[in-house]
Structure 1
Amino acid sequence: MNSFWIILFHTYLNKLKSKSFIITTIITVVIVLALTNINNIIDMFDKNGGKDKVAVLDESGQLYEPFKKQVNTINKDINLTLYQGSEKEAEKAVEKGDFKGVIQLRYNNEKLPEATFKAMGIADSALFTDLQTGLQQLKTMLAASQINLAPAQLQKLYEPVSFEKFALEKNAKTEEELNQARGLVYVLLFIIYFSVIMYATMIAMEVATEKSSRVMEILISSVSPIKQMFAKIIGIGLLSLTQLAAFLIVGYISLTNNLESVKEGFFGVYGFSDIPIGTIVYAVIFFILGYFLYATLAAFLGSLVSRIEDVQQMITPMTFLVVGGFMIAMFGLGKPDAAFITITSYIPFFTPMIMFLRVGMLTLPAWEAILGIAILLATIIALAIFGARVYRGGVLMYGKSNSFKDIKKALQLTKNE
């Protein structure tokens, strides 16, 4: 057992001190800081302080004030200015950068407002949509006054219809609980996805690197393949937890310092405050099992290649499985009770993401979640036994990789030992 811990801590510390790990961690922390400070960064580069200045040419002489009132209700960051010059002068002011655009207001034949908007480009759909919405609301008010509708009648006309939803299933989640669960599931799906992609690849690279240095021939003679394989898997698993903890701590502190709404608690703001403990427990279980499943697969795939350059090609099918599970889970966020989602949740390589999605979004009987966990455990054990045999023979194979044909060759080498 002593050799197991030696390999585990050697893998962990060696990777922790490596330049690639340190640089990757620093770059990712910088990205996390940038994303959590995105509003401040945008304002820093925006000479107008985040506000869009728009010139208004009011040909009617009556529409500017009510239009400005409607637009400010929709978006306070749009700064409308009544322009006293000609249309050509307003266009030149836009070209100089004094205004984001110019909008011309006028009455049509029915004495209702219409407009023309001009800007250097029309890619900013948000600004155009806000201006159009403001004008639409103004038109509705003027049209209502023309047909003598009182403000109370107009308000009643546009009042949202009452439409309540009730679940007949016993103990079904409420709308609020579903929104909370959806937020947690969304975050955890991304964590599982990126963790598997990053750290399973790292395991395969670690094995291939040791093979290329011929260190493996010494190790394999003194340490059993299962000990060696799982020592590396757990070592890099600890490394992943260290890196993820750093990202989460930095992100939390940055959000707390930059968003007033986060002062009440990050999880409260994003709907995570009342998540059941059971859902969080399932999230941890499926994350760990998903990691071990793909890490075991990556370890013996990495043992089949002799050059680091061949690693990516060998683990590409595994990557496709992870991407496939992630895409199915994204679809399942909108329809977690679909038959397709239910069936794929029992396919081992999709279970970590999709079964957790169902557990988080639906009220499932306990046996379904337990069955998913049992399928994962059985798959990991079977993969570990098979993988250890491939690993033992694969680490002694050198030369150009011939993809999955090498699995048979590795098994034959194991038998001959």
Structure 2
Amino acid sequence: MFKFWVVLAQTFMTRFKSKSFMITTAIFLVFIFAIGNIDRIISLFDSGEEETDVVAIVDETNRVGTMLIEMTGEEFSHFQYQQVDNGLEDVQTQVIDGEYAAVLHITEGAPFQATFYTEQLLNNSLEYDINQQLQQIKVVALTEEAGISQAVINEIYEPVNFETAAIESPGGSEQRTEEEVSGARGLVYAMLFLLYFAVLTYGQMIATDVANEKTSRVMEILISSSSPVSQMFAKISGIALLGLTQISILILAAFFMIEQRQADLDAEFFEFFGFNDIPVATYIYAIVFFLLGYLLYATLSAMLGSLVSRMEDVGQLMFPVIILVIIAFMLSMFGLDMPDSEIIRITSFIPFFAPLVMFLRVGLLNIPFYEVMLSIGILVATIAVLGYLGAKIYRGGVLMYGTGVKLKDFKHALQLGKKDK
């Protein structure tokens, strides 16, 4: 047991002191700081004075232009109108010279027609806002001609009272209420991305670490002092501790940033992605599925890494693992909109997808307790089987050297693992 802790500590400290760990952590901290202060960063590049576009109006109706000017207020503060008496061609020349951003030519029609002339064809927001204003004026003009009062118009455009409610049925997997889903959505998003990131990063790290020791022949010294199985699980635990350390640093930095900026940021952002009104059981499931998902893929990565003799082969051998993680992630992204679909329910019991997909269902649905326990049981059993096979393959694989990795290498590693007891 003492040797296990020695290997664990050595794995953790070696990676913790590495430049790659420090640089990666620093980059993520800078990214969190930048996201939390994006408004302040943008303001540094502003001149302090917002430029207001001036749109010239050539109005042949003698009424629509005045209504536009009266309508423009704080909602459209990024531009203003100016009625001109010059001819259309003269004003177009002034647009080219930069005196105006555009010119709006209004003519008689049913009830009027408008043409927008501009050099800024990519500035669609200005065109859209003016079009919206003209549409409102058109509605007012036509309803006045038809004798319809403004009160009737307001009632027509009043949003319909539409609510969504879940039907509860015994033993079913109904969706939670809208408030509960909104509260759990932030945790589900965080868990999906966190587990996806952890599996890809730290799983690759485990395989690379084992392959690196084999390449440098350090493995031959290590197996003479401790068992290969102890080494495998010590490396998995050491890199898991490293990952938890890095993730904790980032979470604490993000929490500190949110606490500092919460008063300045939009409250709706925190309501949509916030962690309010989440049952304690959901947090427990998040920890359970995260740890089980990590152990599953970490054991698989260590087993595959023991078969590699060259660092160049690590990426090739880890490719199937990465594909499994990506499929699980894509299923989860699909399941965020349709958590009660049949494909999500089925894949939540497949061990390589369960850590992400089943937690998605737990977070967004009220599913029967036995389904969660069944999924966890399948996961634990799969980890046990992989751990048993992985230990034997690891025991034999660390002694195998050669070029490339073939399917027969798994059989050879198992045979060596049975002999080396």
Q: Do these two structures clear the TM 0.5 threshold for a shared fold by scoring above it?
A: yes
TM-score w.r.t. length of structure 1: 0.89
> 1:88 maps to which residue?
93
**Contact in 2 for aligned 1:314/1:403 (Cα 8 Å):** no
> 2:14 maps to which residue?
14
Question: Structure 1 residues 220 and 269 mapped into 2: Cα distance closer, same or farther (>3 Å)?
Answer: same
> 1:5 maps to which residue?
5
> 2:208 maps to which residue?
205
**Contact in 1 for aligned 2:185/2:273 (Cα 8 Å):** no
**Contact in 1 for aligned 2:303/2:394 (Cα 8 Å):** yes
**Contact in 2 for aligned 1:226/1:384 (Cα 8 Å):** no
Q: Deviations over 1:251-286 (max 9, x none)?
A: 233333345255989966733211111111111111
Q: Match for 1:342 among 339, 342, 345?
A: 345
Question: Structure 1 residues 300 and 58 mapped into 2: Cα distance closer, same or farther (>3 Å)?
Answer: same
Q: Which has the larger radius of gyration?
A: 2
Partner SS state of residue 223, structure 2: helix
> 1:398 maps to which residue?
401
Q: Deviations over 1:19-46 (max 9, x none)?
A: 1110111112112222222233333334
> 1:368 maps to which residue?
371
For the residues of structure 2 that align with 1:70 and 1:403, how far apart are their CA atoms?
Answer: 73
**Contact in 1 for aligned 2:91/2:103 (Cα 8 Å):** no
Alignment of 1:256-267 (within 5 A): 256-260=259-263
More moved, 81-90 vs 370-379:
81-90
For the residues of structure 1 that align with 2:106 and 2:238, how far apart are their CA atoms?
Answer: 70
Partner SS state of residue 59, structure 1: strand
> 2:142 maps to which residue?
143
> 2:250 maps to which residue?
247
Return the letter of the residue paired with 1:28.
F
Question: Structure 1 residues 213 and 333 mapped into 2: Cα distance closer, same or farther (>3 Å)?
Answer: same
Question: Structure 1 residues 130 and 13 mapped into 2: Cα distance closer, same or farther (>3 Å)?
Answer: farther
**Contact in 2 for aligned 1:74/1:130 (Cα 8 Å):** no
Q: Displacement of 1:316 after TM fit?
A: 0.7
Q: Displacement of 1:317 after TM fit?
A: 0.8
Question: Structure 1 residues 247 and 394 mapped into 2: Cα distance closer, same or farther (>3 Å)?
Answer: same
Tell me the percent identity: 43
Q: Deviations over 1:85-127 (max 9, x none)?
A: 712222332xxxx87x5352524511336342635452x5555
User: Is 1:40 the equivalent of 2:40?
Assistant: yes
Alignment of 1:166-315 (within 5 A): 166-170=165-169, 173-260=176-263, 270-315=273-318
Q: Match for 2:325 among 322, 326, 341?
A: 322
Q: Deviations over 1:344-396 (max 9, x none)?
A: 11111000010001011110111111111111111111111111111111111
**Contact in 2 for aligned 1:107/1:113 (Cα 8 Å):** yes
Question: Structure 1 residues 331 and 119 mapped into 2: Cα distance closer, same or farther (>3 Å)?
Answer: farther
Q: Deviations over 1:47-66 (max 9, x none)?
A: 476x5633212122644564
Residue segments in structure 2 that go unaligned for 5+ positions in a row: 85-89
**Contact in 2 for aligned 1:300/1:390 (Cα 8 Å):** yes
For the residues of structure 2 that align with 1:295 and 1:72, how far apart are their CA atoms?
Answer: 59
Return the letter of the residue paired with 2:203.
A
For the residues of structure 2 that align with 1:189 and 1:293, how far apart are their CA atoms?
Answer: 16
Question: Structure 1 residues 309 and 143 mapped into 2: Cα distance closer, same or farther (>3 Å)?
Answer: farther
> 2:87 maps to which residue?
none
For the residues of structure 1 that align with 2:42 and 2:121, how far apart are their CA atoms?
Answer: 19
Partner SS state of residue 20, structure 2: helix
Question: Structure 1 residues 359 and 275 mapped into 2: Cα distance closer, same or farther (>3 Å)?
Answer: same
More moved, 187-196 vs 340-349:
187-196
For the residues of structure 1 that align with 2:71 and 2:186, how far apart are their CA atoms?
Answer: 33
For the residues of structure 2 that align with 1:360 and 1:127, how far apart are their CA atoms?
Answer: 42
For the residues of structure 2 that align with 1:252 and 1:261, how far apart are their CA atoms?
Answer: 15
> 2:57 maps to which residue?
58
Q: Deviations over 1:120-169 (max 9, x none)?
A: 452x5555544443443333333333323222111111111222222221
**Contact in 2 for aligned 1:112/1:142 (Cα 8 Å):** no
For the residues of structure 2 that align with 1:127 and 1:13, how far apart are their CA atoms?
Answer: 57
Partner SS state of residue 221, structure 1: coil
**Contact in 1 for aligned 2:215/2:310 (Cα 8 Å):** yes
Residue segments in structure 1 that go unaligned for 5+ positions in a row: none
For the residues of structure 1 that align with 2:72 and 2:389, how far apart are their CA atoms?
Answer: 66
TM-score w.r.t. length of structure 2: 0.88
Question: Structure 1 residues 162 and 227 mapped into 2: Cα distance closer, same or farther (>3 Å)?
Answer: same
Question: Structure 1 residues 112 and 15 mapped into 2: Cα distance closer, same or farther (>3 Å)?
Answer: same
Question: Structure 1 residues 305 and 276 mapped into 2: Cα distance closer, same or farther (>3 Å)?
Answer: same
For the residues of structure 1 that align with 2:153 and 2:121, how far apart are their CA atoms?
Answer: 36
Q: Displacement of 1:247 after TM fit?
A: 1.5
Question: Structure 1 residues 67 and 343 mapped into 2: Cα distance closer, same or farther (>3 Å)?
Answer: farther
Q: Displacement of 1:407 after TM fit?
A: 1.6
Question: Structure 1 residues 71 and 388 mapped into 2: Cα distance closer, same or farther (>3 Å)?
Answer: farther
More moved, 108-117 vs 19-28:
108-117
**Contact in 2 for aligned 1:71/1:130 (Cα 8 Å):** no
Question: Structure 1 residues 282 and 130 mapped into 2: Cα distance closer, same or farther (>3 Å)?
Answer: farther
